[in-house]
Structure 1
Amino acid sequence: MNVVHQRYVAYSDAHYAGNLVDGAFSLKLFGDAGTHLAIVMDGHESLFAGYSSVEFLAPVRGGDVIETEARLAEKGNRSRTIDFELRIIARSLDDSGRAEVLTDPVIATRARGTGVVPTPTN
């Protein structure tokens, strides 16, 4: 089971030279996709326990169009191991507003984390 979110990265999200976006940007989007996955699977937003691995593989820049995927890797009684991937699917060419859809998406960030569905209370 998986969910995919797509969005445009605004230039205002860039904080560093070269229009680079910080790594926390990817992790925030992973949280959103993980919550969506939990709602679809369990009917609950769940609680995120933490990441066991995070890899920053390529820069994300203002002007990019990205997609974030959350995919169920393992399902325990209450825990859910989730694999995340952020891919750049379109990139700005220059400051004129021109952009191109990438033939091969660029994997920018990968992570694995664990969400927990709370015990129901009556």
Structure 2
Amino acid sequence: MSETRRDRTPSARVGQRVTHRRYVPHSDAHYAGNLVAGAYSLAAFGDVATELCILTDGDEGLFASYSDVQFRAPVRGGDVIEISAALVRVGRRSRELDFEVRVVCRGTPERGASGAGVLDPPLVATTARGVVVVP
């Protein structure tokens, strides 16, 4: 028998974290300098928040708000980014999360058309705080 929401005890704990990695396609770059819109990071935050809500509450949850969104460095087509969400506050129905996008790999066209390298340390591109609600 499959598990239902009523069978599950919420396990939301401050400090829980989810991390995704993805390649940013060149087709998503819209601006000069091969830049990707800031909304790309916000959409990625939604993905990690959804997974975190599923893990902690057995539900995808709903985004209620963002605060303190900071675009600190560019994200470009061809980058590999790492997106993380960390649970910082657990309410009865709300969860407050800290988000970060880091560029971990970036193209190096000066080394050739397909040149790329690992950034060490990664470049922090976007940070934010958000609130999700769960039933």
TM class by shorter-chain length?
Answer: over 0.9
Partner SS, residue 18 of structure 1? helix
Displacement over 3 Å in runs of 4+:
none
Match status 1:44 vs 2:68: no
Once superposed, what is the RMSD of the aligned Cα atoms? 0.7
Write the mapping of 1:2-17 to structure 2, written as runs, cut at 5 A: 2-17=17-32
Supply the AA of the counterpart residue of 1:116.
Answer: V
Give the TM-score normalised by the residue count of structure 2.
Answer: 0.86
SS of equivalent residue, structure 1 residue 87: strand
Structure 2 unmatched ranges of 5 or more: 1-15
Task: Select the residue among 61, 64, 72 that pairs with 2:79.
Answer: 64
TM-score, normalized by length of structure 1?
Answer: 0.95
How far residue 39 of structure 1 moved from its aligned partner, in angstroms, is: 0.4
The counterpart of 1:92, out of the listed 82, 107, 120, is 107
Per-residue deviation, 1:52? 1.7
| Unaligned runs of at least 5 residues, structure 1 | none
Letter in 2 for 1:112: R
Percent of residue pairs bearing the same amino acid type: 58
Partner of 1:105: 122
2:28 and 2:34 map into 1 onto residues whose CA distance is 8
**Aligned-partner Cα distance in 2 for 1:48–1:16:** 28
